[in-house]
Structure 1
Amino acid sequence: MTLAFASATVPDLLRLVALPVFAWAAIRDVRTRRVSSTVWIPLAAIGTVTLVWDGWTARQAGGLAWTHDFLVPAAISLGLVVPIAYLFWWLGGFGGADAKALLVLALLFPTFPQYTVGTWTLPVSGTPIEAFSFTILSNAVLVGLALPIVLAARNAVAGRIAPVMFVGWPVSWEAVAERHGTLLSTPEGLSRNGLDLDALRMYLRWRGLTLADLRDAPGRYRDPASLPDEPNPPTDGAVAAGPDVRSDGGTAEAGPETGAIDASGVDRTPAADDPWGAAAFLDDIEGTAYGTTPDELREGLEVLTANETVWISPGAPFLVPVFAGLVIGLLYGDLLVGTIV
């Protein structure tokens, strides 16, 4: 079959650049949970150019081409999808990369693109509103809702029946240091709210220790007197550590003296009622370590130093459903409308 984009406009062809970029961003989000803001700048520039191009073309055509085919879907895309992305980011439902991705899609795909591949015209299905960025968003939501079902089925087949089987799975303690997500195991059992694994890495790097070090001598490192005199930079908790992280976890025999003040003026006096130095760590670093509380950190450390296997949740890197929603949208169209109709 001969492939041709006979009916594709130049703006629609330019929009296809989004596919490899979003594929890379989705993979990056799964592996590191970090996507640089610079990724979205070229797509935003292309989106601006194509939006103006389509607007000018529709204005020249006039009639329904201007109002129904361009103005209405563009208004929905920029006036609805953009506020939704901002609102969910503000409420904490989206990460910064997720929100920026949706903002770019609203600019890049305000209207339905059209491509001819041989005898096929894609997308196969349209919607009454024709706002393609909204179609991508609704597709992403449906894909996101399906993921917990797939995860639960995977756990059920393996015989892992638990209240958190829809959001996580068990791993060995050694694997925790290389994973992103949330620790679901607690001293009391399983919970949907637990220690953020990036915060755990921040703590370990701050102390200059590994999880294996803690497991080898939990009693020693549970004592806040073992905190280092000069902690490491905690980094941002990414799996790949920076070169400035030293291995120096301090000693239980020679901790900071009472009332010790370091060169920066910070009081590093170890509190006797601060197991693992959790509160000292959170007080010392800049920021909040992803909202982690001292109790969450202590409970996570108790579990990780005692259990061979723990449950974790990988979280929901929303760029994966967004990429899937984009691909589904370009090939098929709107899943929700197709299901209802």
Structure 2
Amino acid sequence: MSSPISDLLRLVAVPFFALAAYRDIRTRRVRNVLWLPLVSVGAVLFVADASVAAADPFRTRQFAVHAAVSLGIVAPLGYLFWRVGGFGGADAKAIMVLALLFPEFPVYYLPGDTLPLVVPPLGVLSMTVLSNTVLVGLAFPFVLAARNVLAGHVALPMFVGRPARVPDVATDYGSLLETPDGFTRRGLDLDALRMYLRWRGLTLSDLRRDPDRYRDPASLPPEGERGDPTDGALAAGPAVADGGEALTPAVRRVADVDDPWGAAAFLASLDGSAYGTTPDGLRAGLEVLVAEDEVWLTPGLPFIVPMFVGLVLAVTYGDLLFSVLTLVVGV
């Protein structure tokens, strides 16, 4: 068990993760500087707790096991999931920070009780936060589906997406759930859409007003006049939505030219990738956006949001998964 002072100091993580969750919802970006204070606090408290544990052979072994699991398993899991594309770099950093800050369960004394209420035998809080996060995330599709049903939006993708007016798409985060061939889980990323529009110096309404013109790669601006695609964040460059008037939907078709929409030229001009977007994927998304007034898109659930909820649950209630397993085995 950590010292009471160390446990109280660790609660500084809660407001930091609340801020990270807020920024992730609003911008899908979390700056690295946010994690630096938590890393500093975590490192100091880790050394302090290790020093206290060294005075007792049993606590030394216990702390060593908890630290080995937290830093040797939980932290590498964050890095591994980032490397395989399971989530973003900020999510990986958040998991690593938790692994350093919470190798053990804290104890908070209240009148008549102590928190957390449910402590699993292993006693590694960072692992509990991770399992809580997964369980909270599993509830998201059902909440989303319920909201869609209440709004009268009943369709195949209602568990993973929501409908949106096309003029609003350029100021949304997420990805399309549609292609000209129907629904898909791997539609055009809206960050990539903004990168493309900034590169061409256009708004989404420009494309919808005259799709035949802009399908032709001859309409691309000369190389020296192409814009900075940025990283696709809303605040990273010029606006790509002008609140344009209602437009007459275009007819979906395939342009009889090489490289329709200049999609391949755009992606080839980038130093990196546009969130895994392919020329065909970009073209498919653009065809949907110039042909429809409303589309389904997935807002996604930034991983740090359920992680924040999982952290709050971990330091108050404790381990949700252990409670569920205990209940099942008890039945």
Shared fold per TM-score greater than 0.5: yes
Task: Name the structure 2 match of 1:273.
Answer: 258
Provide the aligned length of Structure 1 versus Structure 2: 309
Trace 1:257-296 onto structure 2 (pairs within 5 A): 272-296=257-281
Q: Does 1:199 align with 2:195?
A: no
Q: Deviations over 1:66-96 (max 9, x none)?
A: 222x222111111110121111111110210
Q: Does 1:17 align with 2:12?
A: yes
Could you tell me how far apart the structure 2 residues matched to 1:175 and 1:117 are?
A: 48
Structure 2 SS opposite 1:164: helix
Q: Does 1:211 align with 2:204?
A: yes
CA contact (8 A) 2:198 2:237 kept: no
Task: Name the structure 2 match of 1:325.
Answer: 310
Task: Name the structure 2 match of 1:260.
Answer: none
CA contact (8 A) 2:157 2:183 kept: yes
Could you tell me how far apart the structure 2 residues matched to 1:335 and 1:300 are?
A: 40
Stretches of structure 1 that go unaligned for 5 or more consecutive residues are: 1-6, 248-270
Identity %: 60
CA contact (8 A) 1:8 1:115 kept: no
Task: Name the structure 2 match of 1:64.
Answer: 58
Q: Which amino acid aligns with 2:184?
A: S
CA contact (8 A) 2:203 2:239 kept: no
CA 1:243–1:167: 2 relative to 1, 3 Å: closer
CA contact (8 A) 1:185 1:312 kept: yes
Q: Does 1:47 align with 2:32?
A: no
Structure 1 SS opposite 2:306: helix
Q: 1:186 aligns with which of 176, 179, 182?
A: 179
Structure 1 SS opposite 2:194: helix
Could you tell me how far apart the structure 2 residues matched to 1:185 and 1:114 are?
A: 49
Q: Does 1:301 align with 2:309?
A: no
Q: Does 1:337 align with 2:322?
A: yes
Q: 2:76 aligns with which of 72, 83, 87?
A: 83
Could you tell me how far apart the structure 2 residues matched to 1:244 and 1:94 are?
A: 27
Q: Which amino acid aligns with 1:232?
A: G
CA contact (8 A) 2:198 2:238 kept: no
Structure 1 SS opposite 2:109: strand
TM-score by length of 2: 0.89
Per mean C-alpha deviation after superposition, the further-off stretch among 325-334 and 85-94 is 85-94
Could you tell me how far apart the structure 2 residues matched to 1:197 and 1:242 are?
A: 14
Could you tell me how far apart the structure 1 residues matched to 2:11 and 2:305 are?
A: 17
Could you tell me how far apart the structure 1 residues matched to 2:64 and 2:99 are?
A: 13
Q: 1:134 aligns with which of 127, 152, 155?
A: 127
Task: Name the structure 1 match of 2:154.
Answer: 161
In the TM superposition, what is the alpha-carbon distance from 1:177 to its structure 2 partner? 1.0
Structure 1 SS opposite 2:114: strand
CA 1:213–1:243: 2 relative to 1, 3 Å: closer
Q: Deviations over 1:223-249 (max 9, x none)?
A: 11111111001000001143699x9xx
Q: Deviations over 1:69-125 (max 9, x none)?
A: x22211111111012111111111021000000000000000001112333311111
CA contact (8 A) 2:261 2:283 kept: yes
Q: Which amino acid aligns with 2:117?
A: V
Stretches of structure 2 that go unaligned for 5 or more consecutive residues are: 243-255, 327-331
Q: Does 1:109 align with 2:99?
A: no
Task: Name the structure 2 match of 1:124.
Answer: 117
In the TM superposition, what is the alpha-carbon distance from 1:8 to its structure 2 partner? 6.3
Q: Deviations over 1:250-296 (max 9, x none)?
A: xxxxxxxxxxxxxxxxxxxxx94111111111111221111101111
TM-score by length of 1: 0.87
CA 1:162–1:290: 2 relative to 1, 3 Å: same
